[in-house]
Chains A and B, each alone.
Chain A
């Protein structure tokens, strides 16, 4: 469903290439993991896919179900079913968590030509999902991510994902900053969404997360490229030996 071919990306501000030809396909129903050293371009890839400003695509393509993602506004990508759980979720004072989520859900539905959900339906939906993620009513009432702990922010990202039900979910280090229990909650949240029609791209540094969310495919990214692809055992190898062996092997 997500097909990335030969994607090269420069920073807009400075003359610097970050992605140097990324090839990657995530099929519906599958979970792909991306691991890789700090600064290798994992977050950049997720931002470019979701349409953040500041990057210039110099070559290659990225499509979701055949639709050219790179040609769309961020909100169009979301309506097309793409979702990014941010590595650093943004605090927005003055915008209520619930107001925001409802606006987002209805905007997406409207863009897809679907009925908007009523406040009652919405409340019911959010309460139900929030409960399984142990997000309390107080957090829902607060301004978006303001004063949330690191772990709470990550759980809130997963809540948004659960409510918006995107078809292609990118999770950028959603496990970082989570305690053991929260890791379990978040993983359960992700696993609950796993189904045949939905693809996942999970960016992580740790096997820990992949113990809970078993990936079908694991990619290693280094210096702006996918340098190795394998099964779940690849993550175990990284966990045990780090990147040195893998990188020298492909160099």
Chain B
């Protein structure tokens, strides 16, 4: 798979940085198709090179902490909270520092309507359906904007989850990324194939590493439904770069939500492509960040290339004590994608003057009969509302928390399953309460 020719040859500095990053990495052992897919991805990566701070797509987020040859050690967090969604009955899969933990995981076959494998197993053989998906959506997603960390991931991922949904799944799948090593630097790649009319829910939580790179490729066939709900690990020092690529067939549905609390650096890229008519994709997220060492970036790219599809992006960020939030989101409507309904909103609540929110919302439309809108707002807590709450006896800090939760509630409403959302809300309350002291 070659890249579109509009990528200029990388500069020497970029090539050096890329090679430095690659020097410590070996392509994991794979069967024939896996070897080929990894080599393709490596070629793609070398062609574009790793991001550098002046790149347009990385203008608002410094890629350096993700670029280094070695992950910087990040303190382990003493966490007394049980992993989220433990009581939902979902099938549990645990990766510890990026390594599959069989003892802590459920039997992967204890689910109906879905076949689950580890990526390492799927790639070991010479034939597997995953051949047609692994790296396929990632490489499609490299144009018009390069996503080098995703190519790096395809080339070097050691494991992940491969999900083949052929009917309505009998239970959700819950992947937990545990972390017990200060320097773990895992690269994990997961695949989801949803057959026509099938439906599956993937839950993910945990920090997983000092630096973690994850890719998810989801291919949702006609009438299929895929739900993805994530809570990213709270470890203050962790760095994460994640990519989700989703391709939707006719009347398919993709619903994705990510909650981020803490983290030194988080870059979440979501790439959605409509290829069949009448499909819907909702990607949403909320984050709360406290302090200068918090930087959170949501980068979303939705391509409409079919009739009457609906896309919706809802992102909310609460930032305090010098935290930074970034949103760059694009809706691209190709010629002929008539009756597209595209919506995008990004909002931040800044709890002080030191924190900042940088937003770059974009619409690019080549069809004439579409309804697309986007908006971005930055605001502080409304002092009138705060006074009203306080005048009833609610202490200032608690009143502020109420306002913060109220602000984020709109994003949480994007989650279809109210029980999953409620658990996230409780975690948010906990996060706020810990800061009250």
A103 touches B387 (CB 8 A): no
A160 to B402, CA, bound (A): 17
A111 to B392, CA, bound (A): 12
A107 touches B394 (CB 8 A): yes
B391 touches A78 (CB 8 A): yes
Kindly state whether residue A74 has any CB partner on chain B within 8 Å.
Answer: yes
Residues of chain A with a CB closer than 8 A to B10's CB: none
Kindly state whether residue A188 has any CB partner on chain B within 8 Å.
Answer: no
Q: Beta-carbon contacts of B317-333 to A below 8 Å, as 1s and 0s? A: 00000000000000000
Residues of chain B with a CB closer than 8 A to A50's CB: 391
Size of the chain A interface, CB-CB below 8 angstroms: 31
Looking at the complex, which of A18-26, A84-92, A116-124, A214-222 is the stretch in contact with chain B?
Answer: A84-92
List 26 interface pairs A-B (beta carbons < 8 Å), by A numbering.
A50-B391, A51-B390, A74-B391, A75-B395, A75-B399, A78-B390, A78-B392, A89-B388, A92-B403, A94-B405, A94-B406, A94-B409, A95-B402, A95-B403, A100-B389, A103-B398, A104-B389, A104-B394, A105-B393, A107-B394, A111-B393, A111-B395, A143-B406, A160-B392, A164-B392, A164-B393
Q: Beta-carbon contacts of B86-98 to A below 8 Å, as 1s and 0s? A: 0000000000000
Which of A83, A92, A160: most chain B CB closer than 10 A?
A92
Chain B residues with CB under 8 Å of chain A are: 383-385, 387-396, 398-399, 402-403, 405-407, 409-410
A92 touches B391 (CB 8 A): no
B402 touches A90 (CB 8 A): no
CB < 8 Å neighbour of A73 from B383, B390, B409 = B390
Which of B394, B399, B403: most chain A CB closer than 10 A?
B394
A104-B394, A107-B393 known; A90+B388 contact, CB < 8 A? yes
Shortest distance from the beta carbon of B335 to any chain A beta carbon, whole Å = 39
A74 touches B387 (CB 8 A): yes
Shortest distance from the beta carbon of B17 to any chain A beta carbon, whole Å = 44
B392 touches A104 (CB 8 A): yes
A164 to B402, CA, bound (A): 19
Residues of chain B with a CB closer than 8 A to A103's CB: 394, 398, 402
B393 touches A73 (CB 8 A): no
Q: Beta-carbon contacts of A29-71 to B below 8 Å, as 1s and 0s? A: 0000000000000000000001111000000000000000000
Residues of chain A with a CB closer than 8 A to B396's CB: 73, 75
A83 to B391, CA, bound (A): 7
Kindly state whether residue A197 has any CB partner on chain B within 8 Å.
Answer: no
- Known: A90-B385, A92-B389; 19 extra A-B contacts, CB below 8 A, are A51-B391, A52-B391, A75-B391, A75-B394, A83-B391, A84-B391, A86-B388, A90-B384, A92-B385, A94-B405, A94-B409, A95-B406, A100-B394, A100-B402, A104-B389, A104-B393, A104-B394, A107-B393, A107-B395
- Nearest-neighbor residue (CB-CB) of A52 within chain B: B387
Shortest distance from the beta carbon of B354 to any chain A beta carbon, whole Å = 21
A94-B409, A95-B403 known; A53+B387 contact, CB < 8 A? yes
